[in-house]
Chain A
Amino acid sequence: MSVPMVAAGRERKQPVFERYLNILGPLAMILALGVIMAIFEPRFFRITNIRIILQDAAIYMVLGMAMTLVITGAGIDLSIGSISALSAIVMAIFIKDLNVAVYVAMLLALIVGIGCGLVNGLIITLLRVPDLIATLSTDLVFRGLALVLAAGAVLQRFPEPIPAIGRGRILNDTIPIPIIIGVAVLLVGVFIYRYTPLGRYAIAIGGNRESAMLAGINVRRNKVYHYMLMGAAAALAGIMLTGRLNAVQATVAEGFALHTIAAVVVGGTVLFGGRGTMMGTLVGVILLSMVTNALVILRMAFFWQLVASGVIILASVAFYSYLERRGKGGSE
């Protein structure tokens, strides 16, 4: 394919470096953070601490994978924290109060998550409520349901494999199981993005909804699938969280949605849809978890974590829109 172009002009070969800028940006920030921590607090690099960072990141990898797909398809899901809480509470009640087998209860959690996603998808596509408003509302509904079901209780001490999923380790007690789950889910995401119609159509729907429709793509059905996958991911995240704490209550996971969306955006996925990368999300997730951890280790007050996360999100998005202007010839 080295034939020269007939009508050249706007075409430029993008160097590899530029193609992967969306990953290199956050990676550079990870390095910078590493240098800072090496100077101020070498304990940051202890294996136990790195494990804590990755364990925290693992949940957001699971959520980030599905959120990357949702956002690529020009959607957004603000209800995922409540879905995680609701599915975890349902699972916990079935195990603790109803003595249902643990695997059955976990399956039920997934079904609840997928069901919540289906509800979101149908509200958005059939009632034509904008994604943001729809999931903002169902966030309240799902949270309310979780509160009602749990009735203020903290449910704890769950049978295996729930604790293992949340904080177990394999290979001589070295590698945390949640990290394996998180990475595996992201790899599935890479596969979906690159090798399935679901991923391809998400890019088309988010990039140009009308073109997608004119190509015969069932836009609504695909959007519903995105939210169902998001629901399943939120349920899995809920199980992981329950396992990590070996306890659950209805108020858990409140920050999931914003943290996940932030990680996805920091990773270079465009908030308006049409473009994204799973690997970018991986890097974004790790960066945000590192920042949170670094500030804890430095004994900074909680609000500094918020400030730092906010600054990172702003810096990334400003960086991407700078690249965008330059990439398109800078003519705006």
Chain B
Amino acid sequence: MRGISKHFGGLQALKDVDLTLHAGELLAIVGDNGAGKSTLIKVLTGVYPPDGGSISLDGQPVRVPSRRASIDLGIDAVYQNLALVDYLTAPENVYLGNEIKRSVLGITVLDNRGMRKNAAEVLNERLGVALGNIDQMTFNLSGGQRQAVAIARALIQQKVRILILDEPTAALGPEEARRTLEVVQRLKGKDMGIIMISHQLEHVFELADRIMVMRRGRLAGVRTVAQTTRQEILGLIVGSISDYEADGGRSGASAPVAS
């Protein structure tokens, strides 16, 4: 992403923000409340049209005019508010918008049983979360279970190239947060690129390859985890350090998947 800008009415939520993600890496985005992190990923996933700037994937310029378009490009996201529907079951939420279908007498119908089975598998085995009764409505689930359902939504996608997690551990207790981070750790290292927004620097330093700091709608700086400190990142977040022009991330050795 290059030079992304976005305003809501008179509020400049994003101003000339660049973002580069390499294949197989985990890029963390940090920044104060209201810095524009969620807005940036909503632009990347086609929820908000940007006022300016460009997006490219594998070096090719792409347009992401809708959420559907981003899914088709292999860009998927677990949003901060989880984006679940309370009165659907966990499997129905997991597959919402990507239902498995089968043909019965030439008519295409939803394969509810198949979705139920796969969703239970992903939730139980890959995420280690048991729901008890898998057919209960999502509003009955705990915060951690809901988070797991939202993450499972991304895991069942066939061809996710870029996975975005907006504060995946914010609603979780320590035990559930730990498990979610383990899942992220396991996903990492396949050729999927991951963007994780988080306020918890210890998680960021544990998992990320690079850290991108946003401040008041702008890019405050990008650092490689191996070459930075918590103090420096905090400085960028609060604005006591600023290097808007310098961008350590752009000189990465591997070709960018998305920029």
Contacts and interface: CB of A to CB of B under 8 A. Distances in A.
Interface of A: 1, 3-14, 191, 194-197, 200, 203-204, 207-208, 210-218, 274-275, 328
A9 B97 contact: no
Q: Identify which of A4, A195, A211, A217 gathers the most chain B CB atoms within 10 Å of its CB.
A: A211
B84 A200 contact: no
Interface residues of B, number: 42
A123 B165 CA distance: 36
B62 interface: no
A197 B86 contact: no
Given A5-B130, A197-B99, A216 B142 contact: no
B99 A195 contact: no
A11 B87 contact: no
Contacts of B84: 208, 211
B132 A5 contact: yes
B129 A6 contact: yes
B83 interface: yes
Contacts of B129: 6
Interface string B216-235: 00000000000000000000
Interface string B70-103: 1100000101011111111000100011110000
Given A196-B110, A213-B67, A11 B96 contact: no
B208 to A, nearest CB: 24
B197 to A, nearest CB: 15
A207 B86 contact: yes
A87 B145 CA distance: 50
Contact of B79 (A4, A195, A212, A214): A214
Contacts, number: 106
Contacts of A10: 140-142
A11 B133 contact: yes
A4 B130 contact: yes
B131 interface: yes
A4 B84 CA distance: 23
B249 interface: no
B124 interface: yes
B109 A196 contact: yes
B216 to A, nearest CB: 25
A191 B104 CA distance: 12
Interface of A is mostly: loop
Contacts of B109: 191, 195-196
B68 interface: yes
A214 B67 contact: yes
Interface in B28-63: 47
B110 A208 contact: no
Contacts of A7: 142, 144-145, 173, 176
B67 A216 contact: yes
Given A210-B83, A214-B83, A1 B142 contact: no
B96 A200 contact: yes
A69 B97 CA distance: 18
Contact of B96 (A4, A195, A215, A328): A215
A203 to B, nearest CB: 6
A208 B86 contact: yes
B140 A195 contact: no
A9 B83 CA distance: 22
Contacts of B85: 203-204, 207-208, 211-212, 274
Contacts of A1: 120, 131-134
A200 B92 CA distance: 8
Nearest to A215: B97
A211 B99 CA distance: 15
A200 B99 contact: yes
B136 interface: yes
29 contacts: A1-B120, A1-B132, A3-B130, A6-B129, A8-B142, A10-B140, A12-B140, A13-B133, A195-B109, A195-B110, A197-B99, A200-B96, A200-B110, A203-B88, A204-B85, A204-B88, A204-B96, A207-B86, A207-B88, A208-B86, A210-B81, A211-B83, A211-B84, A211-B85, A212-B96, A216-B70, A216-B97, A217-B96, A218-B68
B12 interface: no
Nearest to A14: B136
A102 B220 CA distance: 72
A207 B88 CA distance: 9
A195 B88 contact: no
B200 interface: no
Contacts of A207: 85-88
Nearest to B142: A7
The 8 closest A-B pairs by CB, nearest first: A215-B97, A5-B132, A3-B130, A214-B83, A211-B83, A216-B97, A195-B109, A7-B142
